[in-house]
Amino acid sequence: MEPAAAKLLGAGIAMLGVFGVGIGLGNIFSAYITSTARNPSAEPKFKGMTFVGMAVTEAVALFALLIAIMLITL
């Protein structure tokens, strides 16, 4: 296998983590909408936890993207 092909294959495998991020974000916002619909008065508490969870989950996607870019450029 050529080194250029291995780099691109490795970058593609590194980006597979983004599928998990998409599923995780869907679960986070699904739980947020459900909890807000059941108890609208507690919405500010849920909003804060939702944004923290979203930020941590998005960090995984950014790490996967960073690793893929590093594999392509190095």
Render pLDDT for 6-37 as a digit per residue (tens, 0 to 9): 999 999 999 998 999 999 999 999 999 999 99
Tell me the DSSP string of 13-36. HHTTHHHHHHHHHHHHHHHHHHHH
Among residues 1, 9, 19, the alpha carbon closest in space to that of 72 is found at 9
In a domain, 66, yes or no: yes
CATH of the domain at 17: 1.20.20.10
What CA–CA distance (Å, rounded) separates 69 from 5?
Answer: 14
Structure confidence at residue 18 (pLDDT)? 92
Structure confidence at residue 17 (pLDDT)? 87
The number of domains in the chain is 1
What CA–CA distance (Å, rounded) separates 15 from 11?
Answer: 6
In a domain, 4, yes or no: no
Q: What's the token pair of residue 70?
A: 């590093």
In a domain, 21, yes or no: yes
